[in-house]
Amino acid sequence: MKFSALVTMILVLAMPVFAADVDGKWIGNVATPNGDLPVAFTFKADGAKLTGTTTGFDGAEVPISDGKVDGKNITFKVTFDFGGMPFVLDYKGVVSPAEIKLTGEAAGMPFELSLKKAPATTAPAAKN
């Protein structure tokens, strides 16, 4: 009995180690009838909670909501404002070290996209 309790405790404590590394900026494209549309997300995981932003159609940052992390799986929503009317996109994804495969739904229509980890940018060196 004590052994199984110890194993269970170790597995529970080790679970965050198996969580996906979703933090950072991710970029990709969504295929549309009018051509590819670039997309970008910035994610931050805090335990099972996922926060972040995406870039709206007007270039402004739009927060994600209801974000969750469950191992390598993520879910979240993005609500865009079209003249006072909310337009909600629901996303589900699987995170690997170099890619996030997302499926989404907009107005009952499913779509898929793949995001790649954006290269790290370095700040320009200060001039003396």
Q: Where are the domains of the chain?
A: 19-117
* Predicted pLDDT of residue 107: 77
The band of 30, judged by pLDDT with boundaries at 50, 70 and 90, is confident
* Predicted pLDDT of residue 109: 83
Q: Any idea which fold 19-117 has?
A: Lipocalin (2.40.128)
Contact 27, 119 (CB under 8 A): no
Q: pTM here? A: 0.76
Instruction: Give 72's strand partners.
Output: none
Residue 119 one-letter amino acid: P
Rounded distance between C-alpha atoms, residue 66 and residue 84, angstroms: 21
